[in-house]
Structure 1
């Protein structure tokens, strides 16, 4: 039997143990759930279960993901959050069936994200939050099917425009990053204002001058709104005090 990391009380993660951890999801997918088992190394024995649809190795002590993970060609859902991973393998780009990838709460740096991520053409959700990223690879902008991107709690000073312009992006979480300005430039704001759920900087984080500008803009908007709401409808055609002479003479006909 192939052996790998240890689980609770020194239990070995063998092929049989892994096989018994397979669950069927509500939509009929096969999920291998090895979360919270104290695994310290990627269990190579699970490569024999390469036909699974979902793999959960979250909340363990794993430091390295091997290139062999690409054998999971049918994998649609991969959860590696809350481990000690500092680098993703280049082979992850071969897992083109992936729709969901969660590697949050690890030790990933910008150099630990391979360029090959741009090959995940079908992926819809990527969570890179709670890591040590000081920049985001612009190659993520090639993932046109992305709906959600998590970049919160990192060391980012800016967000690439290529990500903000993703055509199907609905949610972008950039909270708790050391942005030098309230949130990049006006051009950046314009490119992402269409998002349904965008996390921007809070008022308490704005400098005095920027906060004043925001307040003035809001006051101006409210003033315009009040003017529109308070203007009588008949004033729109104030110049038309009475029907002209021709219309008055023939009003019985056109009525």
Structure 2
């Protein structure tokens, strides 16, 4: 039998050290910052500071988290990026006040994400980038308050289909995944430029084509030195009124 690989001992954190690491944020939240301290196991003494709203354990050597994480009932912000986590405890689903969860740069696979993660009904930002995800568990579709989702630098061969079910999602990062190239958008004769609709001539009805031709004749007449009709504004060749509503607006502009 081979030798068992010894786990790193890491730095020991005392209650005195932890209390000294509690700071107030600009918005008055109590943040316990133990980032980049070489911690290899979750310090038990932190349970005596479980009333903090923010906990930063990023850039350490953590491989797992205890189920006692449920003691942090007031937690709104949890940063665990750049550790060695391979799984999350089921207890994470009980942190109902959590709004931001950063799990990037760990060793998480789909099997390491418990279904209880989908119980975080108020979660707004979830970062799972730089992990080992070849699929995204569908229970994340229950995160109806989610605004931002980081999935960059994983092993995803296709984007999660449930993203369209998240009504408040505004930012998704899927960069650096082996995704197939995106299909080009369908061609359309109408495109928006600076708040105005521009339309090609062959996309107009017969009446609009006549109006456009009449307008072009007036422009050509003006360019040849003849007196222009001052009621007509100077356009640049593309019709700005593809429908009757826009034509009424042009009358107001004039």
Instruction: Report if TM-score (shorter chain) is over 0.5.
Output: yes
**CA shift at 1:234, angstroms?**
7.1
Structure-2 residue corresponding to 1:187: none
Q: 2:211 aligns with which of 235, 238, 242?
A: 235
Runs of 4 or more, structure 1, over 3 Å off, are 216-222, 231-234
Structure-2 residue corresponding to 1:133: 133
**CA shift at 1:44, angstroms?**
1.4
Contact 1:35 1:60 in 2 (8 A): yes
Cα distance per residue 1:74-107 (max 9 Å; x no partner): 0000000000000011110000100000000000
* Structure 2: stretches of 5+ with no match in the other structure: 1-8, 215-254
Cα distance per residue 1:180-234 (max 9 Å; x no partner): x224xxxxxxxxxxxxxxxxxxxxxxxxxx5xx56x8389969x94626xx9897
Cα 1:95/1:158, change in 2 over 3 Å? same
* Structure 1: stretches of 5+ with no match in the other structure: 184-209, 239-255
Cα 1:155/1:219, change in 2 over 3 Å? farther
Contact 2:190 2:199 in 1 (8 A): no
CA–CA distance in structure 2, aligned partners of residues 236 and 142 of structure 1? 52
Contact 1:138 1:163 in 2 (8 A): no
Paired positions, count: 199
Contact 2:153 2:177 in 1 (8 A): yes
Aligned-pair RMSD on alpha carbons? 2.8
CA–CA distance in structure 2, aligned partners of residues 227 and 95 of structure 1? 55
Larger Rg: 2
Answer yes or no: is 1:33 the counterpart of 2:6: no
Question: Would you tell me which structure has more helix in proportion to its own residues?
Answer: 1
Contact 1:50 1:73 in 2 (8 A): yes
Contact 1:6 1:13 in 2 (8 A): no
**CA shift at 1:160, angstroms?**
2.7
**Structure 2 matches for 1:101-116, cutoff 5 A?**
101-116=101-116
